[in-house]
């Protein structure tokens, strides 16, 4: 096979082609279930048959399905105790007048649950008609059309900063950088780089989380003096001095600092003031491990963007911690942002 | 004998098989110390989880949750203990990896997904915990062992009811550092996952 010549423009664009890491309920086909169907003898009786069946054999688990497809009618789900030749008996037992039907019982595979995406809907609807409530946000995620051009540019910029931060990592074998952004004020709240050579828990993400805590008068790994950006009165404690200097010189258009933390008594409106990483976006050069991914859930991050996959990654590779149903908080995950640049870090 | 995690995790709460009999007197004493830290946490309005790291039958680290104190939701008892052992090793110039691989962890509540991953990655020798963690448990909510293939042996059930009652006691109150609208009543479903904030362990 011969490869078409690569165009430089296309190559540049791949930087922007990051993608959401979604739960299987959106990416996998809709789960299916086998049901018995039969054909109505006289099409004029269709509505009567439907009303009758819904009365004597309601299907509360399958309300997303239409009862009828053309002249075929959905009877009830198959199970191992009912062979097709018993269907007639069961209908009779439930006082259903079987003379309405052709006694041509067949099995049919239908959607077990309502489809969650248009793509899933189009597949299952062809097999058997069903209801579908389209969710605009989900559709945008599934088709990867959520972000505008300017939003994409902003995400790319912040990941570029994370790559610069990663270079401060202490061990050449584990290089990672993190930038935490408050999208409400479009400002870098905190950064983190890998320090596991000093402390096995000090992965870049965990360091960044603790640096966010510094901006809220907390923090466990460090104590820092109060530092405020005088013009904007943003709290700069989440970014070490030396790194802040470097970043300010390189990125003249970026903002730095967190909204000032308010103690409990100062909070007027309930949603006021920063609380952990609530509402924050986290940019990390490589996919976080299980510990870090869960640390971000505890911290209530809103979105996590990562560059390159990790062997021990918990946001797509080993597992998808952010899609575990039983957890009380879920963030959105996007992968492949500046993947090439992030990959190069790892090789160094 | 330590049972494997998968064998014990599915046991019913009311299961009369208690690990009490399997714990030596010394081990029970370690758990007692861990419980003291959990009670201490409750007294200062932190999620009541206490933890002890034991090396060569000696307590090398002890701690409790300090999430509210540090405004850092990752400061669980286990992470605090890891820090302590790490500092100890470095001050004494000891091999951190080797020490961790010989550590037995005693903790009143099942380590959460984050802490389970941290402890498995450090290859700690064993974890003995009290009650299950229905909200964040590294076995109960998501089985971390299924993806990390740990060498760590896990055993549970000792004074489980007492550990659970401590948690219930805490969750009856409200989290003192969460903004008012973000504190939810246990059992109530929050509206939007991204907006909600609950009490955490
Ligand atoms: Zn990590
Ligand atoms: Zn934990």
Q: What ipTM describes this predicted complex?
A: 0.89
What are the structure tokens assigned to A34, written together? 């086998």
> Cα distance from A215 to chain B (closest Cα, Å)?
9
* Whether B69 is catalytic: no
Alpha carbon of B46 to ligand 1 centroid (Å):
25
| Digitized pLDDT (tens) for each residue of chain A, 348 residues in all | 445 544 444 444 555 689 999 999 999 999 999 999 999 999 999 999 999 999 999 999 999 999 999 999 999 999 888 888 899 999 999 999 999 999 999 999 999 999 999 999 999 999 999 999 999 999 999 999 999 999 999 999 999 999 999 999 989 889 999 999 999 999 999 999 999 999 999 999 999 999 999 999 999 998 888 888 777 789 999 999 999 999 999 999 999 999 998 876 665 555 567 899 999 999 999 999 999 999 999 999 999 999 999 999 999 999 999 999 999 999 999 999 999 999 999 765
Question: What contacts B132, CB < 8 A, 6 or more positions away?
Answer: B9, B13, B109, B110, B139, B140, B156, B160, B164
Distance in Å, alpha carbon of B114 to nearest chain A alpha carbon: 4
What parts of chain B have a pLDDT lower than 70?
1-21, 174-201
Q: Tell me, what's the pLDDT at A35? A: 96
Digit-coded pLDDT (tens) for A7-38: 444 444 555 689 999 999 999 999 999 999 99
Q: Which two tokens stand for residue A92?
A: 């009779």
Q: Which of B170, B161, B116 is nearest to B143 (CA)?
A: B116
Beta-carbon separation of B176 and A298 below 8 A: no
Q: Nearest CA of chain A to the CA of B33: how many Å?
A: 23
What are the start-end ranges of the H helices in chain B?
5-9, 25-43, 67-70, 77-91, 96-101, 113-121, 145-148, 160-172
Tell whether B173 is within 8 A of chain A (Cβ). no
Going from the Cα of B74 to the center of ligand 1, the distance in angstroms, rounded, reads: 12
Interatomic CA distance for residues A230 and A216, integer angstroms: 18
Per-residue pLDDT, B21 = 57
* Ligand 1 centroid from CA B201, angstroms: 19
> Is B86 close to A329, i.e. CB distance below 8 A?
no
Interior CA angle at A255 toward A253 and A260, to 5°? 165
- Residue B73 forms contact with A (CB below 8 Å): yes
Q: Which of A329, A2, A1, A348 is nearest to A175 (CA)?
A: A348
Cβ distance of B73 and A295 shorter than 8 Å: yes
Number of the ligand closest to the Cα of B109: 2
């Amino acid at each position: 096979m011969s490869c078409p010549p690569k165009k430089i423009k296309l190559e540049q664009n791949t930087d922007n082609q990051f993608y959401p890491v979604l739960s299987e309920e959106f990416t996998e086909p809709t789960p299916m279930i086998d049901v018995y169907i039969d054909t109505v003898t006289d099409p004029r009786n269709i509505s009567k048959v439907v009303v009758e069946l819904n009365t004597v054999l309601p299907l509360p688990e399958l309300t997303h399905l239409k009862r009828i497809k053309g002249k075929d009618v959905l009877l009830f789900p198959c199970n191992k105790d009912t062979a097709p030749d018993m269907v007639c008996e069961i209908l009779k037992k439930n006082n259903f007048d079987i003379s309405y039907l052709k006694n041509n019982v067949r099995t049919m595979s239908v959607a077990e649950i309502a489809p969650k995406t248009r793509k899933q809907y189009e597949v299952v609807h062809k097999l058997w008609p069903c209801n579908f409530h389209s969710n605009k946000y989900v559709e945008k995620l599934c088709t990867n059309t959520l972000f505008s051009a300017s939003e994409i540019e902003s995400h790319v910029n912040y990941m570029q900063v994370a790559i610069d931060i990663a270079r401060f990592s202490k061990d050449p074998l584990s290089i990672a950088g993190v930038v935490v952004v408050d999208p409400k004020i479009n400002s870098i709240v905190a950064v983190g780089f890998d320090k596991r050579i000093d402390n096995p828990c000090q992965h870049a993400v965990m360091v960044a989380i603790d640096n966010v805590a510094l901006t809220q008068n907390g923090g466990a790994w460090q104590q820092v003096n109060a530092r405020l950006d005088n013009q904007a009165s943003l709290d700069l404690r989440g970014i070490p001095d030396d790194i802040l200097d470097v970043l300010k010189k390189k990125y003249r258009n970026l903002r730095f600092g967190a909204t000032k933390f308010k103690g409990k008594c100062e909070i007027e409106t309930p949603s006021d003031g920063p609380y952990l990483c609530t509402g924050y976006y986290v940019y990390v050069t490589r996919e976080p491990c299980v510990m870090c991914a869960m640390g971000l859930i505890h911290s209530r991050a809103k979105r996590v963007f990562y560059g390159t996959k990790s062997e021990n990654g918990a946001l797509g590779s080993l597992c998808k911690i952010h899609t575990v149903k039983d957890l009380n908080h879920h963030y959105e995950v996007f992968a492949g942002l500046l993947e090439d640049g992030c990959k190069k870090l790892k090789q160094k | 004998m330590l049972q494997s995690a998968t064998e014990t995790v599915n046991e019913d709460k009311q299961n009369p098989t208690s690990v009490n009999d399997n714990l030596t007197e010394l081990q029970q004493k370690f758990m007692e110390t861990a419980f003291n830290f959990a009670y201490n946490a409750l007294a200062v309005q932190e999620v009541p989880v206490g933890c002890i790291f034991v090396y060569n039958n000696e307590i090398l680290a002890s701690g409790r949750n300090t999430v509210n104190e540090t405004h850092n939701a990752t400061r669980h008892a286990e992470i605090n203990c890891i820090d302590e052992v790490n500092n100890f090793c470095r001050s004494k110039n000891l091999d951190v990896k080797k020490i961790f691989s010989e550590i037995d962890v005693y903790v009143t509540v099942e380590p959460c997904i984050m802490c389970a991953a941290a402890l498995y990655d450090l290859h700690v020798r064993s974890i003995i915990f009290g009650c299950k963690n229905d909200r964040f448990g590294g076995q109960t909510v998501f089985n971390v062992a299924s993806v990390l293939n740990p060498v760590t042996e896990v055993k549970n059930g000792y004074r489980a009811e007492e550990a659970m009652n401590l948690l219930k006691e805490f969750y009856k109150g409200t989290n003192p550092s969460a903004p008012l609208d973000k504190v939810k009543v246990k059992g109530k479903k929050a509206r939007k996952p991204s907006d909600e904030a609950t009490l955490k362990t």
